[in-house]
Amino acid sequence: MLIVQTAFLGDQILTTPFIRAVKRIFPDSLLAYLTTPVGAEAVANNPNIDEYIIFDKHGRDKGITSLFSIAKQLRKKKFNTAFLPHRSFRSGLLVYLAGIPERIGYKSAAGSIFYTKRVTRDTRKNEALRIMQLLTVFGLEMDNLPLPELFPSDKDISIAQNFIQTYSLSGKRIVGFAPGSVWRTKRYPEKSYVELGRLLIGSSPVDALVIVGGEQDYSLCKRIASGIGKNAFVFAKAGSILATFALMKNFVFLVSNDSAPGHIASAAGIPVVSIFGPTVPEFGFAPIGEKNIVVQAEDLPCRPCAPHGGMHCPKGHFLCMNSITPEKIFYLIEKNLLKNL
| Residue at 87: amino acid letter | R
Range of the domain at 99: 2-138
pTM (2 d.p.): 0.94
The per-residue pLDDT for 340 is 76
Q: Is residue 152 part of a domain?
A: no
> Do both 205 and 130 map to the same domain?
no
Q: Is residue 151 part of a domain?
A: no
| Residue at 86: amino acid letter | H
Tell me: pLDDT of 146 over 90.
no
Q: Is residue 43 part of a domain?
A: yes
In whole angstroms, give the CA distance from residue 313 to residue 316. Answer: 5
Domain count, the chain: 2
Q: Is residue 147 part of a domain?
A: no
Task: Tell me the β-bridge partners of 255.
Answer: 177, 273
List, for residues 300-331, the tens digit of each pLDDT value. 999 999 888 889 999 889 999 999 999 999 99
Q: Is residue 200 part of a domain?
A: yes
Element (H, E) at 320: helix 319-322
In whole angstroms, give the CA distance from residue 294 to residue 273. Answer: 6
CATH number at residue 236: 3.40.50.2000
> Do both 270 and 191 map to the same domain?
yes
> Do both 254 and 335 map to the same domain?
yes
Tell me: pLDDT of 139 over 90.
no
In whole angstroms, give the CA distance from residue 73 to residue 52. Answer: 13
The per-residue pLDDT for 57 is 83
Tell me: pLDDT of 145 over 90.
no
In this predicted model, which residue has the larger pLDDT, 146 or 22?
22
Q: Is residue 143 part of a domain?
A: no
The per-residue pLDDT for 284 is 93
Q: Is residue 154 part of a domain?
A: no
> Do both 130 and 175 map to the same domain?
no
> Do both 86 and 233 map to the same domain?
no
> Do both 331 and 289 map to the same domain?
yes
Around 245, how many Cα atoms within 13 Å sit in the side-chain half-sphere? 25
> Do both 185 and 73 map to the same domain?
no
- Over residues 282-297, the mean pLDDT reads 94
In whole angstroms, give the CA distance from residue 40 to residue 168. Answer: 32
- Over residues 145-172, the mean pLDDT reads 95
In whole angstroms, give the CA distance from residue 2 to residue 320. Answer: 40
Q: Which of 138, 173, 205 is the last residue of a domain?
A: 138
> Do both 319 and 206 map to the same domain?
yes
In whole angstroms, give the CA distance from residue 43 to residue 14. Answer: 10
Question: Which of 269, 259, 275 lies closest to 289, judged by CA?
Answer: 269
> Do both 174 and 275 map to the same domain?
yes
> How much is the CA Rg of the chain, to the nearest whole Å?
21
List, for residues 42-75, the tens digit of each pLDDT value. 999 999 999 999 999 878 888 899 999 999 999 9
> Do both 233 and 116 map to the same domain?
no
Tell me: pLDDT of 270 over 90.
yes
Question: Which of 124, 97, 117, 119 lies closest to 108, judged by CA?
Answer: 119
SS3 (DSSP) at 194: helix
Tell me: pLDDT of 142 over 80.
no
Q: Which of 138, 167, 187 is the last residue of a domain?
A: 138
SS3 (DSSP) at 193: helix
Q: Is residue 199 part of a domain?
A: yes
Q: Which residues contact 13 (CB under 8 A, 6 or more apart)?
A: 42, 43, 148, 150, 260, 263, 264, 266, 267
> Do both 96 and 244 map to the same domain?
no
> Do both 213 and 263 map to the same domain?
yes
